[in-house]
Amino acid sequence: MTGHEILLGVVLVVVAIVVIAWLELKYMRKSMRTRRMRSTRGIEELPDTAHNALITTRAIAAALDRGGVHSEEVEGLLREAQMAYSRRNYRVVIDLASKAREKLTALKARHTAMGDLAKLESMPSAGGDETTTKELLQRDFPPNLAQAKFTVDLAANAVERGRSSGRDVSQAEGLLAQARVRFDGQDFGGAVSSARQAQRSADSGPIAGLLVDAPAVVTMALACPSCGAPIAADDAFCRKCGSKLLP
């Protein structure tokens, strides 16, 4: 190989290196410019995003409030979001609005589960001997019934999630069965307690030291001769209609 050929080869290699370096530099500059543009666009859009989040959440809260769903906690979050917006802390606004919407979603679900019972507190009681709709509902739906139903449903969903995830839900299943038996026996306070334990066991694993009573501890084989509601063998009065059972 002659010296001329070697020189030509070196020149070609240098040219190739220069071309590659130029292309890489051009690509890097374009990439950096694109990232800066995206970053700038995101910062410019933050005020609008925060404003829309705040306005939308306020509209949802107002609509639910008209339907009887109100939360002081949500109002507090919205006030904090408004203050953050006035101080231009737009990311804080978006975060607070998101938390408020999550609270509203949970309240709406609870309100829907309660159904007509959610209206009891807003219905005035009439004086005299006249029986009001509120009093009829209170008589037909004893205290804690709605809460018990809602809590048992939550526990059932938790057990199903735990079972689908492959967790040990045997204790939770026993507690859920116990809660349902107590609910059917109109022991709504006991149903709430057992259902909460079932949900905890299903979500976090078996509760150490907790013994699950057999569902049979609540006797439901007997029925009130007056209204047909299930009663326990040692009940002196029917829990539903108040009729005397024991002599």
Domain ranges of the chain: 44-112, 143-213, 217-247
Looking at the DSSP bridge assignments, the partners of residue 154 are none
Residues 6+ apart with CB under 8 A from 189: 144, 148
Q: What is the reported pLDDT for 215? A: 47
Q: What is the reported pLDDT for 216? A: 40
pLDDT in tens, 29-63: 777 776 665 555 555 578 888 889 889 998 888 88
Q: What is the reported pLDDT for 134? A: 46
**pTM value surpassing 0.75:** no
Burial of 174 (0-12, 13-18, 19+ CB in 10 A): buried
Regions of the chain short of the pLDDT cut 50:
116-118, 120, 122, 126, 128-131, 133-134, 136-138, 215-221
